[in-house]
């Protein structure tokens, strides 16, 4: 054998060994990803590979979402959702006003509590952010490429949409359930007849691949107050868990009357079974008026679809659809650990957190270890399903999130602290005070299958003495806590807008890579778009006048308009012709009984003005767009009714 051959073989051996080592190394590096699908790996950024997050906080009674950077705590943006937003004309313009439609008419406000990121294979994927409206039950879907609300769906047969809009692991569904039980269908009955006439509903809203939502089904449940929810994951995939209080079914002075029972419930809902039952056609079509308001991507105009019925399931007819897990003391949050095995319920009047076991639950169901039933829903024995109780977890535990390293963090409102405990041993290992009266807490990915950990944000209700006072109403406060070590460390306080009950965070790069910088002017299908200065015009149709206006640095076309008359209804359809990032133009009309327009590049927005008296009225650009921004202005001449001043318009002609 020649030495050449020998050395060649050696080469092969060395190469092979190197390759094997390389593969081994790679496998080790990816070990933590091994239980994730390819799709999930694409969106997943492993802990340590990131240092910046978007932090999406609900606005509570502001009805909106606010966006912060983490770890800076700096406010970046308000995303209008359920409330009109004069800052950019959301809910005022002809294009966006339909977003606030409901079966009751247009509602300019709501109370939003829970932002929830869409997920792929149990990991937040940065496509959408869902958020609930409590007061007039709705769920909104925010597009995270534009940071705009793309869709709002109303939930019928519900009131106080609080256990919402928690997502299943592939955002197949977002859930909703009623906090206030109601006569379903609505009818005129005595409030004292609560026990016989009032019912709750649990609703599953289907999310299509393109994000479009519609109601898949509703489940009619006993008239308790359904409070919070989380979907199962891993082994508990296919189930969703809802807390309820007021199993006493009190209808007055709930603080006393709904605190009588030692235990209320976590309702475990088998949504796979519900899905099958619907597919088999075993449902009732029941009255339930609701609307879906959707942004048309091509026109960027919101359209409303009205619907009249929903598919309803009754647990009595479907054995195995729901089980009740007894849970102490009016539970609030219900949180599923990353493995999907443990379900922590936070009894807000308890001093401990009971943790249910999903596998024990299945065994108990098989063995029929029941403690009676409520309206056909079996109640499982507490001892049969409980995995452990976290003692000394603080007073008034509300919510729990997870760090992905085997620890859970519970907020305790009354003792005002975050308490860290170990999953499995249920021992408390650390605690840190919150200033003051913490509600929710939030860890990046903290309710998902793969939490990113690193930080925890405490969302506090009370700030007395933390910031400069601002009159009777003080800001709510968030506190950034480092959870990367054994001991939690307080890093930063920052004030928040409205009352952000909950917030979710995601590594910035997952969201950043999909950012929309401007809208293509060629693709603008708004029927009133003026896609160039030469396409601008003014048209009269009776007393309606349509101004097809264009805006580009630094003038409007047209900027002089004559021939408008008192009694006219003038539609300013303003198209921003810029094709560059960060060049919005504004449009404000003297005396208009509405908000301004803030028009993104390539987009058309419409303001309606009904001039009340003759004269000459200015309009101008509100967004500082160039050195000559202050020159970006124009005039409209308004003549008396019946005047013969001809319609004329132009810029510099
Ligand atoms: Cu404030 Cu989630 Cu509405 Cu608890 S909820 S704090
Ligand atoms: Cu356009 Cu300022």
Counting every residue written for the chain, the total comes to 653
Q: For residue 139, give the 3-state DSSP assignment.
A: strand
**Ligand 2 mean position to 67 CA, how many Å?**
25
pLDDT of residue 348: 87
CA of 603 to the centre of ligand 1 (A): 37
Question: Closest ligand to 583 CA?
Answer: 2
pLDDT given for residue 1 in this prediction = 38
Of the candidates 431, 402, 412, the residue with the CA atom closest to the CA atom of residue 351: 412
CB neighbours of residue 225 within 10 Å: 25
The reply to whether the predicted model has a pTM over 0.85 is yes
| Rounded Cα distance, 217 and 33, in Å | 34
Q: What is the pLDDT of residue 350?
A: 87
DSSP assignments along 488-546, one per residue = -EEEEEEEESS----EEEEEHHHHHTT------STT---TT---SGGG-EEEEETTEEE
CA 440 to centroid of ligand 1, rounded, Å: 6
Nearest alpha carbon, ligand 1 atom 6: 439
Query: With 0-12 CB in 10 A as exposed, 13-18 as middle and 19+ as buried, what is 34?
Result: exposed
Taking the alpha carbons at both ends of the chain, their separation in whole angstroms is 94
Please choose, from the candidates 150, 148, 117, 146, the residue with its C-alpha nearest in 3D space to the C-alpha of residue 131: 117
C-alpha dihedral over 269, 270, 271, 275, to 10 degrees? -130
Give the strand pairing for 428-433 and 569-576. Answer: unpaired
The whole-angstrom separation of Cα 168 and Cα 163 is 13
pLDDT of residue 28: 41
Ligand nearest 399 Cα, by number?
1
Whether ligand 1 lies within 6 angstroms of the CB of 502 is answered as yes
What span, in angstroms and rounded, lies between the C-alpha atoms of 353 and 351?
7
Residue 114, ligand 1, Cβ within 6 A: yes
CA of 240 to the centre of ligand 2 (A): 50
Nearest CA to ligand 2 atom 1: 585
* Ligand 1 pocket mutation, candidates 59, 61, 113, criterion most atoms within 8 A of CB: 113
Q: Which ligand is nearest to the CA of 334?
A: 1
Closest-CA residue, ligand 1 atom 5, reads 501
Distance 589 CA to ligand 2 centre (A): 14
User: How many angstroms separate the alpha carbon of residue 630 from the centre of ligand 2?
Assistant: 7
Which ligand 1 atom minimizes the distance to the CA of 501? 1
Distance 230 CA to ligand 1 centre (A): 13
At 581 the three-state DSSP class reads coil
Q: How far is CA 405 from CA 333, 410, 411, in A?
A: 21, 15, 18
H or E stretch including 272?
Answer: helix 271-279
Backbone angles phi, psi at 363, to 5 degrees: -65, -45
pLDDT on residue 21:
47
Residue 85 CA to residue 101 CA, distance in Å, equals 15
Return the best residue to mutate from 179, 461, 502, 504 for the ligand 1 pocket (most ligand atoms within 8 A of CB): 502
Smallest CA-to-CA distance from 176 within 124, 214, 139, 213 is with 139
CA of 246 to the centre of ligand 1 (A): 17
User: What ligand is nearest to the CA atom of residue 620?
Assistant: 2
Distances (CA, A) of 594 to 125, 452, 633: 37, 43, 18
Closest CA to 528 of 606, 458, 439: 606
Q: Which atom of ligand 1 is nearest to the CA of 333?
A: 4
Q: Give the integer Cα–Cα distance in Å for 112 and 247.
A: 25
Residue 320 confidence (pLDDT): 98
- How many angstroms separate the CA atoms of 219 and 311, rounded? 9
- Give the chain's residues under pLDDT 50: 1-8, 10, 14, 21-34
Cα within 13 Å of Cα(433), Cβ side: 2
Residue closest to 267 by CA, chosen among 235, 303, 227? 227
Instruction: Determine the distance separating the centroid of ligand 1 and the alpha carbon of 423, expressed in angstroms.
Output: 23
Ligand 1 center to 441 CA (angstroms): 10
How far is residue 592 from each of residues 79, 161, 619, measured CA to CA in Å? 24, 35, 10
Please work out whether the CB of residue 440 comes within 6 Å of at least one atom of ligand 1. Answer: yes
* Predicted local confidence at residue 39, as pLDDT: 62
Q: What is the pLDDT of residue 36?
A: 60
pLDDT at 597: 98
Distance 629 CA to ligand 2 centre (A): 5
Q: Is 162 in the pocket of ligand 1 (CB under 6 A)?
A: yes
Q: How far apart are CA 574 and CA 471, in angstroms?
A: 40
Using the mean position of ligand 1's atoms as its centre, give its distance from the Cα of residue 527 in Å.
43
Per DSSP, the three-state class of 192 is helix
Residues with beta carbon inside 6 Å of ligand 2?
554, 585, 621, 623-625, 629, 632
Regarding the beta carbon of 498 and ligand 1, being less than 6 Å apart is answered no
Atom from ligand 1 closest to the CA of residue 332: 4
Q: What is the pLDDT of residue 89?
A: 98
Atom of ligand 2 nearest to the CA of 621: 2
339 Ramachandran zone, left/alpha/beta (phi>0; psi -120 to 50): alpha
Q: Which ligand sits closest to the CA of 162?
A: 1
Ligand whose nearest atom lies closest to the CA of 346: 1
**Ligand 1 closest atom vs CA 459:** 6
439 C-beta closer than 6 A to ligand 1? yes
Our answer on whether the CB atom of 413 is closer than 6 Å to any ligand 1 atom is: no
Rounded Cα gap, residues 244 and 163, in angstroms: 9
Q: How far is CA 5 from the centre of its chain?
A: 66
**What is the rounded CA–CA span in Å between residue 324 and residue 330?**
14
Decide whether any atom of ligand 1 lies within 6 Å of the 348 Cβ: no
- 482, burial (CB in 10 Å: exposed 0-12, middle 13-18, buried 19+): middle
DSSP summary character for residue 142: E
Ligand 2 centroid vs 579 CA: distance in angstroms?
Answer: 14
pLDDT value of position 259: 92
Alpha-carbon distance values, 589 to 442, 611, 616, 636 (Å)? 42, 10, 11, 9
Nearest-atom index, ligand 2, CA of 626: 2
Phi, psi dihedral angles at 604 (to 5 degrees): -115, 135
């Amino acid at each position: 054998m020649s030495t050449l051959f020998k050395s060649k073989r050696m080469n092969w051996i060395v190469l092979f060994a190197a390759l094997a080592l390389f593969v081994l190394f790679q496998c080790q590096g990816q070990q933590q990803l091994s239980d994730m699908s390819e799709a999930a790996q694409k969106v997943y950024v492993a802990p340590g590979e990131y240092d910046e997050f978007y932090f999406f906080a609900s606005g509570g009674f502001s009805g909106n979402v606010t966006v912060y950077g983490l770890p800076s705590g700096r406010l970046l943006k308000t995303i209008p959702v359920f409330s009109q937003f004069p800052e950019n004309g959301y809910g005022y313009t002809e294009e966006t006003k339909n977003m606030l439609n409901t079966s009751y008419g247009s509602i300019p406000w709501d109370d939003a509590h829970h932002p929830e990121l869409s997920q792929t294979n149990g990991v937040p994927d940065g496509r959408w952010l869902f958020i609930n409206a409590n007061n007039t039950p709705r769920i909104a879907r925010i597009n995270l490429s534009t940071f705009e609300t793309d869709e709002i769906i109303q939930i019928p047969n519900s009131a106080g949409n609080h256990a919402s809009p928690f997502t299943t692991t592939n955002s197949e569904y977002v859930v909703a359930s009623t906090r206030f039980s109601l006569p379903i269908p609505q009818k005129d009955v005595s409030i004292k007849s609560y026990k016989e006439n009032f019912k709750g509903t649990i609703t599953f809203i289907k999310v299509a691949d393109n994000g479009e939502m519609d109601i898949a089904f509703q489940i009619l449940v006993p008239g308790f107050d359904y409070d919070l929810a989380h979907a199962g994951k891993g082994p508990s995939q296919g189930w969703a868990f809802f807390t309820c209080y007021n199993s006493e079914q009190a209808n007055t002075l709930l603080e006393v009357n709904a605190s009588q029972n030692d235990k209320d419930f976590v309702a475990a809902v088998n949504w796979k079974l519900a899905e099958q039952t619907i597919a088999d056609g075993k449902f009732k079509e029941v009255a339930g008026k609701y609307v879906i308001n959707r942004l048309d991507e091509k026109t960027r105009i919101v359209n409303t679809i009205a619907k009249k019925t929903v598919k309803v399931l009754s647990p009595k007819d479907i054995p195995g659809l729901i089980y009740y897990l007894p849970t102490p003391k009016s539970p609030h949050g219900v949180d599923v650990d990353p493995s999907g095995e443990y379900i922590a319920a936070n009894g807000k009047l308890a001093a401990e957190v009971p943790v249910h076991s999903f596998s024990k639950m299945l065994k108990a169901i098989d063995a029929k270890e029941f403690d009676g039933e409520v309206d056909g829903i079996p109640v499982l024995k507490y001892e049969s399903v409980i995995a452990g109780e976290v003692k000394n977890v603080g007073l008034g535990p509300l919510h729990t999130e997870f760090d992905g390293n085997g620890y859970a963090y519970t907020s305790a409102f009354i003792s005002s602290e975050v308490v860290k405990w170990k999953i499995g041993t249920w021992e408390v290992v650390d605690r840190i005070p919150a200033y003051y009266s913490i509600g929710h807490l939030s860890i990046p990915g903290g309710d998902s299958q793969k939490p990113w950990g690193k930080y925890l944000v405490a969302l506090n209700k009370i700030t007395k003495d933390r910031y400069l006072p601002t009159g009777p109403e003080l800001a709510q406060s968030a506190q950034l806590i480092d959870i990367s070590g054994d001991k939690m460390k307080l890093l930063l306080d920052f004030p928040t807008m409205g009352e952000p009950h909950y917030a979710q965070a995601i590594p910035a790069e997952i969201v950043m890579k999909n950012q929309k910088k401007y809208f293509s002017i060629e693709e603008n299908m708004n029927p009133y778009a003026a896609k160039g200065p030469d396409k601008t015009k003014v048209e009269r149709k009776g007393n309606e006048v349509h101004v097809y206006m264009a805006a580009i640095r630094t003038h409007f076309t047209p900027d002089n308009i004559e021939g408008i008359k008192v009694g006219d209804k003038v539609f300013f359809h303003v198209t921003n012709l810029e094709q560059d990032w960060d060049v919005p133009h504004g449009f404000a009309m003297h005396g208009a009984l509405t908000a301004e327009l803030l028009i993104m590049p390539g987009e058309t927005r419409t303001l309606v003005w009904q001039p009340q008296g003759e004269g000459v009225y200015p309009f101008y650009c509100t967004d500082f767009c160039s050195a000559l921004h202050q020159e970006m202005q124009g005039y409209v001449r308004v003549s008396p009714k019946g005047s013969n001043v001809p319609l004329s318009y132009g810029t510099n002609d």
